[in-house]
Amino acid sequence: MTKVLVSDPIDQAGIDILSQVAQVDVRTGLPPEELKAIIGDYDALMIRSGTTVTAEIIEAADKLRIIGRAGVGVDNVDVPAATKRGVLVVNSPEGNTIAAAEQALALMLALSRHVPHAHASTMAGGWDRKKYVGNELYKKKLGVVGLGKIGSHVARVAKAMGMDVMAYDPYVSAERAQQMQVRLLPLPALFAEADFVSLHLPRTPDTENLVNAELLKTMKSTARIVNCARGGIIDEAALAEAVENGTIGGAALDVYAKEPLEAGSPLRQVKERLILTPHLGASTEEAQENVAIDVAEQIRDVLLGLPARSAVNIPGLNAEVMEQLKPHLQLAETLGQLLSQLAGGPISELEVRLQGDFAAHPAQPLVVAALKGLLSTALGDSINYVNASLEAKERGIHVLEVKDDASRDFAGGSLQLSCRNSQASHSVTGAVFAEGELRITTIDEFPVNVAPSRHMLFTRHRDMPGIIGQLGSLLGEHNVNIASMQVGRRIVRGDAVMVLSLDDPIPPSLLVSVHAINGIQEAHPVTL
């Protein structure tokens, strides 16, 4: 029975989808040791930010095929460790965009009007109208750091509220900023000019403690900062001090370097002009339903053998590409399998050549598929689209991609894989014919026209009378049935190749006899 573990609170809509294909166990708040102890039973894991999926947990996950993050950030998953193990990681890149943007806007408004403190004071019996005089957002300068999905929505709404919006994002073009009517500024200038700063960038080694004591000192003493992105981007001790000392006008945080926020955090000591929420950016009913459905559908699909649409660790190979390129990927994988069996040993170089109309397709997915096929002979089921490139790199396979749209051998083009190792080089070419039918069209540059089949035998031999008959009789004597046979040669009585599609595999003892036939130089049994 396929089993899915849900280890964080997930909307019921997601559980219902998973239940269509698997037994779903919801066990939230598991300590890491307990998660490690049970993960080996599960085919899929669905999480939010509450579960940390370490390399140790992935190592213990013998059956795990997919980790689904019902949200955006996968910084709580050791993605390289998952990739190495061939475990797919998927997320929901857009399901909570609006929720997170609205949380940032809510905190900006709450900060500028002292909403939480005024509420607490009123609830405590007070009626302090003077202390809580605030500021308007209208005509104030907002600096958005990270103009991605959430940052862009914040910028749009802020503009509609009459704010003057500036942004810092080293990866956003001037055209995009112009389209959004946002001024792009360097980070120091943005911090110096802003009345409000809202952070919407990921936490990476580059962005860790990006907002430190030094940068805070450059802000206006009335300026306020909001972080609904990730903890660790702001130095929390420096921020607590800057708010306490009046270096800046206030701050609102939804995310923290360590979550849950530690009891002894200096942030908890700040009494005024600081608002803290417990990572609620994505916590709307709408966003939770969106991300749960988005990720549960992907887990369901992957468990059914279908591609995922938002895979984090196979960039460029989403469901749409997989669907469009299905026969082409299948061809690349088949040619990879065939090539590795012809080579019969380690390969140091693989060339993937997209010829004619094939060159119009993106090369990367075809390279990944070719590598998966190539490595599956040695690594079996442990190799997949997730870890194929990494495994190839670790094995020192140098990959060359070539697009040659001038070569016009077939309508639709062709794909050629060539490999080199210390002893020899081999090449195979294939094409996708009408109705997605696959064909092997050359072997070591000899022309053939063969549909791949489960069991095959490839020979290199001298083109001379009697060889085909001898081989046919030999296989017949050993009860190996030949489904089809083809010979490819470039010159009469020169070197030739023979391709046999067989109904049965060739036993090793029979292969010795095949090699013994006079004129046969090489014989490679192939299983696809």
Ligand X SMILES: O=C(O)[C@H](O)COP(=O)(O)O
Ligand Y SMILES: NC(=O)c1ccc[n+]([C@@H]2O[C@H](COP(=O)([O-])OP(=O)(O)OC[C@H]3O[C@@H](n4cnc5c(N)ncnc54)[C@H](O)[C@@H]3O)[C@@H](O)[C@H]2O)c1
Task: Give me the residues that bind ligand Y (CB under 6 A), please.
Answer: 72-73, 96-97, 100, 145-151, 168-172, 200-202, 206-207, 228-230, 254-255, 279, 281-282
Q: Is 295 in the site for ligand X (CB under 6 A)?
A: no
* Residue 231: DSSP 8-state: T
Residue 200 or 455: the one with the smaller Cβ distance to ligand Y is 200
Q: Which residues neighbour 73 within 8 Å (Cβ) at sequence distance 6 or greater?
A: 49, 91, 202, 230
Residue 230 or 524: the one with the smaller Cβ distance to ligand Y is 230
DSSP character string of 194-224 = -SEEEE-----TTTTT-B-HHHHHTS-TT-E
- The one of ligand Y, ligand X, none whose footprint includes residue 147, by CB under 5 to 8 A per kind, is ligand Y
**Residues between 29 and 48 with contacts to ligand X, criterion CB under 6 A:** 48
**Residues between 237 and 256 with contacts to ligand X, criterion CB under 6 A:** none
* Contact residue for ligand X among 282, 292, 338, 343 (CB under 6 A): 282
Q: Is 72 in the site for ligand X (CB under 6 A)?
A: yes
Residue of closest CB approach to ligand X: 71
Shortest distance, position 42 Cβ to ligand X, whole Å: 20
| Site map (CB under 6 A) of ligand X, residues 89-128, x = contact | -------x--------------------------------
β-strands 141-145, 164-168 pairing? parallel
- The one of ligand X, ligand Y, none whose footprint includes residue 48, by CB under 5 to 8 A per kind, is ligand X
Q: Which residues neighbour 195 within 8 Å (Cβ) at sequence distance 6 or greater?
A: 135, 140, 141, 142, 220, 222, 223, 224
Number of residues that bind ligand X (CB under 6 A): 12
Shortest distance, position 310 Cβ to ligand Y, whole Å: 12
Tell me if residue 230 is catalytic. yes
Residue 294 or 444: the one with the smaller Cβ distance to ligand X is 294
Residue 281 or 430: the one with the smaller Cβ distance to ligand Y is 281
Which residue among 59, 208, 241, 259 is the active-site one? 259
φ/ψ (deg, to 5) at 499: -125, 120
β-strands 495-502, 482-489 pairing? antiparallel
Which residue among 65, 117, 230, 328 is the active-site one? 230
φ/ψ (deg, to 5) at 365: -60, -35
Shortest distance, position 50 Cβ to ligand X, whole Å: 6
Q: Which of 229, 328, 292, 326 is nearest to 90 (CA)?
A: 292
Q: Which of 212, 215, 254, 247 is nearest to 233 (CA)?
A: 212
Instruction: Give me the residue label for tokens 């609830």.
Output: 123
Tell me if residue 259 is catalytic. yes
Shortest distance, position 455 Cβ to ligand Y, whole Å: 48
Distance CA 140, CA 166 (A): 11
* Contact residue for ligand X among 68, 71, 148, 336 (CB under 6 A): 71
Q: Which stretch binds ligand X (CB under 6 A): 33-41, 276-284, 316-324, 464-472?
A: 276-284
Which residue among 69, 85, 279, 328 is the active-site one? 279
Q: Is 281 in the site for ligand X (CB under 6 A)?
A: yes
* Contact residue for ligand X among 68, 73, 148, 452 (CB under 6 A): 73
Asked whether the beta carbons of 186 and 213 are under 8 A apart, the reply is no
Distance CA 73, CA 242 (A): 28
Strand partners for 23:
3
Distance CA 182, CA 372 (A): 45
* Contact residue for ligand X among 4, 35, 45, 49 (CB under 6 A): 49
Q: Roughly what angle, to the nearest 10 degrees, separates helices 508-516 and 467-477? A: 160
Q: Which of 358, 299, 346, 337 is nearest to 453 (CA)?
A: 337
Residue 13 or 487: the one with the smaller Cβ distance to ligand X is 13
For the annotated catalytic residues, the residue numbers are: 230, 259, 279
Provide the binding-site residues for ligand X, judged by CB under 6 A: 48-50, 70-73, 96, 279, 281-283
